[in-house]
Amino acid sequence: MHSKLLIAQADPRPMYLQIVEQIRQRVATGDWPPGTELPSIRTLAADLRVSVITVKRAYLDLETEGVIVTRHGRGSCVADAQDRAQATQLAELDTHLAAAGRIAATLGLTDEALMDRLHKTLHPEEGEA
């Protein structure tokens, strides 16, 4: 498969992020359906004239998001829709939890106090007497 990905030197975004966004777009539009094999890290790096580390970082981010699945010795392919949906929801949850952690730190709350507030939010009935 020809990658058809392009790195714009004039683009202020990091190269790995350009790769991530282009692959996300191809998957979202259905150009690369579930099961589609991605170029190997080395092949894509050579095609784009970037370092292997740059492509590896992009693939790792995509795998963390659930967009792709990497199988040792078999390469990477587009994940199925169910895996992607769950990974997307988990990534959104992680974003909200990180924001809550930053707010708690700004307020001077301890980890325990933040966890207590989360527990009370999840189980408001336990606070009723």
Q: Tokens 């408001």 sit at which residue?
A: 124
**pLDDT confidence tier of residue 128, bands split at 50, 70 and 90:** low
The closest of 19, 78, 23 to 52, measured between CA atoms, is 19
31 DSSP assignment: S
> Phi and psi of 30, rounded to 5°?
90, 5
Q: Enter the tokens of residue 114.
A: 């933040």
Of residues 84 and 2, the one with the higher pLDDT is: 84
SS (H, E, C) 66-79: CCEEEECCCEEEEC
CATH of domain 15-79: 1.10.10.10
Residues 4-58 pLDDT 10s: 899 998 999 999 999 999 999 999 888 999 999 999 999 999 999 999 999 999 9
Q: pTM higher than 0.75, yes or no?
A: no
**Cα 114 to Cα 127: distance, rounded to the nearest angstrom:** 16
Helix ranges restricted to H, the chain: 15-28, 41-48, 52-65, 81-107, 111-122
**Cα 73 to Cα 25: distance, rounded to the nearest angstrom:** 26
**pLDDT confidence tier of residue 86, bands split at 50, 70 and 90:** confident
36 DSSP assignment: P
Does residue 129 surpass a pLDDT of 60? no
Domain ranges (residues) in the chain: 15-79, 83-127
Residues 12-23 pLDDT 10s: 999 999 999 999
The closest of 17, 101, 97, 100 to 60, measured between CA atoms, is 17
**Cα 97 to Cα 81: distance, rounded to the nearest angstrom:** 24
